[in-house]
Homo-oligomer: A and B are copies of this chain.
Amino acid sequence: MKQGEILYREGMPAEVLFAVSVGSFKTVVGGPEGTEQIAGFFIAGELVGLDGLSSGAYKSRATALEDSEVCLLAYSSLEQLGNEMPGFQRSLHAALSREILRAYSVMLMLSKLSARRRIAAFLLDLSARHAARGYAPDDFHLRMSRRDMGEHLGLRLETVSRQMGRLRDAGILEVDDKHVRVLDMHGLTKLAG
């Protein structure tokens, strides 16, 4: 699917789970206007759509940040597979539980970290996930706008821009619009810690 297209929206019957195979997505929760919060960004190899499982309808909206592809995993077949192959349902449980932990860590960040440290923690998380997929951990392309970063981190887009600038001035990052190079990974880690 193309950039900007919507994978699912709030209220749609949730019969499938999506595994991102290429590209990336954001998931948005909350009210119609102004009160939106980006629950997470998801890159290739990660699962999207876990929130639909409880009520049978999605409670969030997933949007492609770039041209992307997904695999569909039907919930019903997951259950069936779980019955046939022990350990399969366990991996679905694990995915759900990991999403809970990820949400907890976002809560922690929103609750305790200064704007600068939120940016640092966010970039480190992105870096680690890129590394886990075999990409360079210190050189990547941000797929989302400053506004999107802000709506995930609980900051205004101006604050995001300013703090990125300060990380650049401190010699920790090289920033060219959406392209980011980490010059001082240790410094970045210390900041986020």
Within 8 A of B (CB), among A20-52: 29-30, 34-35, 37, 39, 50-52
In the assembled complex, the CB of A78 is this many whole angstroms from the nearest CB of chain B, namely 9
Q: Which of B50, B60, B100 contacts A50, CB < 8 Å?
A: B100
A82-B82, A154-B112 given as contacts; is B54 within 8 A of A97 (CB)?
A: yes
**Surface stretch bound by B, among A86-94, A128-136, A160-168:** A86-94
Query: Is A154 a contact partner of B104 (Cβ separation < 8 A)?
Result: no
For A59, list chain B residues within 8 Å (CB): 101, 104
- Interface residues as binary, A74-113 with B (CB distance below 8 Å gives 1, 0 otherwise): 0000010011001001101111111111011111101110
A59 to B104, CA, bound (A): 10
Query: Is B51 a contact partner of A104 (Cβ separation < 8 A)?
Result: yes
A104 to B92, CA, bound (A): 19
A111 to B31, CA, bound (A): 13
7 smallest A-B Cβ distances: which pairs? A103-B103, A54-B97, A111-B154, A53-B97, A96-B96, A110-B110, A54-B98
Query: Is A108 a contact partner of B50 (Cβ separation < 8 A)?
Result: no
Q: Which of B34, B37, B103, B154 contacts A100, CB < 8 Å?
A: B103
Task: Considering the complex, give the chain B residue whose CB is closest to the CB of A75.
Answer: B93
Write 24 A-B pairs (CB below 8 A) sorted by A numbering: A29-B104, A30-B108, A35-B193, A37-B107, A37-B108, A37-B111, A50-B100, A53-B94, A54-B96, A54-B98, A55-B97, A59-B101, A79-B90, A82-B82, A89-B89, A93-B96, A96-B97, A100-B100, A103-B104, A103-B106, A103-B107, A107-B107, A107-B110, A110-B110
